[in-house]
Structure 1
Amino acid sequence: MNKVVLLGRLTRDPEVRHSQSANPVAVARYGIAVRRQFTKPGEPDVDFFNIVSFGKAGEFAEKYFKKGQMVAIVGRLQVNTWEDAQKVKHTSVDVVVEEQHFAESRREEGVQPMSTIAPANLDEDDDMPF
């Protein structure tokens, strides 16, 4: 099984290009930084991952994801190797998106956090359903 679940902040805005096939597909690339829970002195406390999303997921990322935003990614690891013009081999490990989600609420001016908003028409004597 090849499954990855990541929760982190975008390190850059998604960049979208379209494939050059008969039916072009959006390909979004962006990075996220994931904080390590346990670190030793002198070790890095953040890991960086390259993320790739295709099609509608790529278009969604381009439209709604911004640098610094907390996101949750579910996907799979994919290893890519290629040779450049100077015949030097390169390898990259990417996370290919299967699901992507917002992981924090939007904080807009004038909007109260949900925890401070009381339900409408709720009397103190009413039985609470929870």
Structure 2
Amino acid sequence: MNECTYLGRICTDLVLNKKAMDDKENYWTRFRLAVARKRVKKEGEKDTDFFNCVAFGSAAKGICTYAKKGGRICVCGENRENNFEKDGMKYYTVELFIKDYHVIDFKEKKQASGDVTEEAPFPPE
């Protein structure tokens, strides 16, 4: 079973992207999530792990509308491996494909906007 739940802070700007496919508008967003580890170092600080996350459809729209950079969010989904070639080298990445989410720190009402950017859903190879 591949099911992951992370509670952390969004550490990148949220951008809602749109791409038309088969006469339908498809929405998606990508962001990095900072998740503190339980163990505290001698200095009193916690180590942090950073996870790549991607959401599609209504999840992407909801996250971009209500969440904010630096805000806490709980995301649930499955980790998926992707790979691509660049300059003759093969690279592997892992992303959390979000199935469900719960925003903890909401945007202020004046910040909540539905700005949409039209881009390709994946970087060119």
Q: Normalising by structure 2, report the TM-score.
A: 0.74
Which residues in structure 2 correspond to 1:1-130 (within 5 Å)?
Answer: 1-22=1-22, 23-40=24-41, 45-84=47-86, 86-104=87-105
What CA RMSD, in Å, does the superposition of the two structures yield over aligned residues? 2.5
Aligned to 2:121: none
Gaps in structure 1 of 5+ consecutive residues: 109-130
* Change in 2 beyond 3 A, CA 1:63/1:104: closer
CA distance in structure 2 between the aligned counterparts of 1:58 and 1:73, rounded to whole angstroms? 12
Gaps in structure 2 of 5+ consecutive residues: 110-125
Asked if 2 retains the 8 angstrom alpha-carbon contact of 1:34 and 1:48, the reply is yes
Q: Normalising by structure 1, report the TM-score.
A: 0.71
CA distance in structure 2 between the aligned counterparts of 1:25 and 1:107, rounded to whole angstroms? 26
Asked if 2 retains the 8 angstrom alpha-carbon contact of 1:13 and 1:62, the reply is no
Matched positions, count: 107
- Structure 1 or 2, whichever has the larger Rg, is 1
CA distance in structure 2 between the aligned counterparts of 1:89 and 1:50, rounded to whole angstroms? 18
Higher RCO (C-alpha 8 Å, min separation 6)? 2
Q: How much does 1:104 deviate?
A: 4.5
Percentage of identical aligned residues: 29
Q: How much does 1:106 deviate?
A: 7.7
1:3-28 superposed Cα distances (whole Å, 9 cap, x missing partner) = 00000011012222223522231111
Q: Where is the strand percentage greater, Structure 1 or Structure 2?
A: 2
SS of residue in 1 equivalent to 2:38: coil
